[in-house]
Amino acid sequence: MNRVLSLIGAPILNLALESGRIFLLLIDSILWIFRPPFRWKLLIKQMEFIGANSISVIILTGTFTGMVFAFQSYIGFHKFGAEYMVGTVVGLGMARELGPVLSAIMVAARAGSAITAEIGTMKVTEQIDALHSLAVDPVQYLVTPRILAGLLVMPLLNSIAVFCGVVGGYFVGVKILDINRTLYLQYMYQYVDLSDLYNGMIKSVVFGLILTLIGCYKGMAVSGGAEGVGRSTTESVVLSCILILVFDYILTAFMF
Amino acid sequence: MENIIIEMKNVHKSFGKHQVHKGINIKVPQGGITVILGPSGTGKSVLLKEMMGLLMPEKGEVIVDGVDITKISKVELVNIRKKFGMLFQNAALFDSMTVYDNVAFPLREHTKLKEKQIREIVLEKLRLVGLKDVENKMPSELSGGMRKRVGLARAIVLEPKIILYDEPTTGLDPIMRDVVDDLIYNTQKQLNITSVVISHDIDSAFKIADYMAMIYDGVTVLNDTKENFKNSDNPYVRQFINGSKDGPIKMF
């Protein structure tokens, strides 16, 4: 009986423990945003790393998603002769859902994993202890700049993804599938609102927080040498992606 | 003994079920080199980390300069840490920064000095540890011994009152070991600070120590001056000094 209970209890305890630690790290790093010293240089560096260096990936992701989406929705609309609605659906889909989610998942895979690997390596080579020993708080020095950069940069990346998706959708819809250009654009203008864009922007801010926070947390939690760094990096990407999808649902339900 | 700068009283620490410290009592007198000896895997590095509050003991007191650091806030602890410099086992240099930036790091963090003054201090400290023309190298381009020296330069750049050395001579060849021993000795004499060295190297210990302590199985076996330590008839100490596998210390 005891073994059965502990079999159920252990993972639940673990989950509670881990979410508690992530939450504490979040609080700690947010407090450091408002307390000096402010790390402008590190912030800019992280914005470059998380943001600027992700642009090519985001352009590709956005464009191809928009293009595929145009093809797929065309099949449906073609059945009742409403092909000109493809633009609307691509615009709405990219702005509200695909832009924020896919760009966040790509950035989690690219930058989130790198954050975990970098901080994790610092942990196992005692560089985090060295920071402590030099009276510098690692959360303030390493975590806060990354989280802040994630918050600022994700909405920008999202807007690039949405723009590229809409352009890709237009290309497929109008140039390849020969939908009437005027109708395509007219319906898109008419039905895609600024509020749809805001909606996606809010999501991508939250996703930016998730992927940097989890990246940092998993890095700080590394133990056990090179193998540990590898394990944490995998866990970081998996957990970030899952949380992005879960919070996508929660945010969608709230802003419905 | 004279002025005590660090005192550990009845310190207990465990990791999971593994009890590392079961009542450590160590006194570190001011202005000398205290070498703490013990067989590998007896929690010596943990001891060092407890001294500057990188790890907290579950029970017991760690008194640094009159303050029990197990009972103070995080902010106060950060201020206490400014009294310390620490040389890590593998130097723990920031591998994304050049040697120069590594040594300049504490100055940029904790002082308002101009870059010109920082440059002077950094080069002076590098000279003090016997290095020159390495400022622009990355840590990965240096040998183990050079990395340790850069680590030491970084540790002393803010002129701390206490320097902690985590196994400074482990993994070095005999000549380099002598060089590092000299470095520890001279640094202490030149800056007139307190040094604590963790080691299992009995030869270096006798060369540089003013005071010695030995820990085994989570407790302090002996903590005394070098002379008394050398002449002690404690069976644990004798076995360790003689480097014999027979005696009360069991490695299995």
CB B87 within 8 A of CB B155: yes
pLDDT of residue B252: 60
Residue A252, helix vs strand vs coil: helix
Euclidean distance between CA atoms B234 and A31, whole angstroms:
53
Tokens 């407890």 correspond to B50
Euclidean distance between CA atoms A119 and B70, whole angstroms:
27
Euclidean distance between CA atoms B11 and B22, whole angstroms:
7
CB B82 within 8 A of CB A135: yes
Q: Which residues of A touch B52 (CB under 8 A)?
A: 132-133
> What does the CA dihedral A55, A60, A63, A69 come to, rounded to 10 degrees?
-130
- β-strand pairing of B194-199 with B162-166: parallel
Q: Write down the ipTM of this complex.
A: 0.86
Q: Which of B52, B78, B90 sits opposite A125 (nearest CB)?
A: B90
The b-or-e profile of A88-112 (16+ CB within 10 A means b, else e) is bbbbbbbbbbbbbbbbbbbbbbbbb
Q: Rounded to two decimals, what is the model's pTM? A: 0.88
Query: A224 — contact with chain B (CB < 8 Å)?
Result: no
C-alpha atoms less than 13 angstroms from C-alpha of B101 in its C-beta half-sphere: 9
How close is the nearest chain B Cα to the Cα of A218, in Å?
20
Amino acid at B251: M
Residue A39, helix vs strand vs coil: coil
pLDDT in tens, chain A (256 residues): 888 888 888 899 999 999 999 999 999 999 998 888 888 999 999 999 999 999 999 999 999 999 999 999 999 999 988 889 999 999 999 999 999 999 999 999 999 999 999 999 999 999 999 999 998 999 999 999 999 999 999 999 999 999 999 999 999 999 999 999 999 999 999 999 899 999 999 999 999 999 999 999 999 999 888 899 999 999 999 999 999 999 999 999 998 7
- What is the chain B residue with the closest CA to A127? B92
Amino acid at A49: F
List phi, psi (to 5°) of A225.
Answer: 65, -160
In terms of CATH architecture, what is B1-83+162-252?
3-Layer(aba) Sandwich (3.40)
Q: Which of B79, B92, B106 sits opposite A129 (nearest CB)?
A: B92
- What is the chain B residue with the closest CA to A138? B78
Residues 6+ apart with CB under 8 A from A178: none
- What is the chain B residue with the closest CA to A129? B54
Count of other CB atoms within 10 angstroms of residue A250: 11
Euclidean distance between CA atoms B6 and B13, whole angstroms:
18
Give me B235's structure tokens.
Answer: 């069976």
Amino acid at B102: N
Give me B93's structure tokens.
Answer: 């240099």
C-alpha atoms less than 13 angstroms from C-alpha of B110 in its C-beta half-sphere: 21
Q: What is the full DSSP assignment across B122-134?
A: HHHHHHHTT--S-
Angle ∠(B195,B196,B198) on CA atoms, nearest 5 = 145
Q: Which residues of A touch B88 (CB under 8 A)?
A: 126, 129-130, 133
> pLDDT digits over B1-22, tens only?
468 889 999 999 888 888 888 8
Query: A132 — contact with chain B (CB < 8 Å)?
Result: yes
Give me A236's structure tokens.
Answer: 């970081």
- What are the structural domain ranges in chain B? 1-83+162-252, 96-159
Residues 6+ apart with CB under 8 A from B127: none
Q: Does the distance separating the beta carbons of A135 and B109 come in below 8 Å?
A: yes
Give me A163's structure tokens.
Answer: 């723009």
B2 burial type by CB count under 10 A (0-12 exposed, 13-18 middle, 19+ buried): exposed
Q: What is the full DSSP assignment across chain B?
A: ---EEEEEEEEEEEETTEEEEEEEEEEEESSSEEEEE--TTSSHHHHHHHHTTSS--SEEEEEETTEEGGGS-HHHHHHHHTTEEEE-TTTT--TTS-HHHHHHHHHHHH----HHHHHHHHHHHHHHTT--S-TTS-GGGS-HHHHHHHHHHHHHTT--SEEEEESTTTT--HHHHHHHHHHHHHHHHHHT-EEEEEES-HHHHHHH-SEEEEEETTEEEEEEEHHHHHT---HHHHHHHHT-SSSS----
Tokens 């819809």 correspond to A173
> pLDDT digits over B90-136, tens only?
889 999 999 999 999 999 988 899 999 999 999 999 988 888 888 89
Instruction: Give the residue from A218, A212, A120, A86 showing the smallest Cα distance to A157.
Output: A212
CB B3 within 8 A of CB B30: yes
CB A169 within 8 A of CB A90: yes
pLDDT of residue A103: 96
pLDDT in tens, chain B (252 residues): 468 889 999 999 888 888 888 888 999 998 889 999 888 777 888 888 899 888 889 889 999 988 899 889 888 888 888 889 999 988 899 999 999 999 999 999 888 999 999 999 999 999 888 888 888 999 999 988 888 889 989 998 988 999 999 988 887 788 888 888 888 898 888 888 999 999 888 888 888 999 999 988 888 888 888 888 888 888 888 888 888 787 787 766
pLDDT of residue A12: 92
Q: Which site among A24, A45, A129, A133 would you substitute to test the B interface, given the most B Cβ atoms closer than 10 Å to its Cβ?
A: A133
Give me A222's structure tokens.
Answer: 């590394």
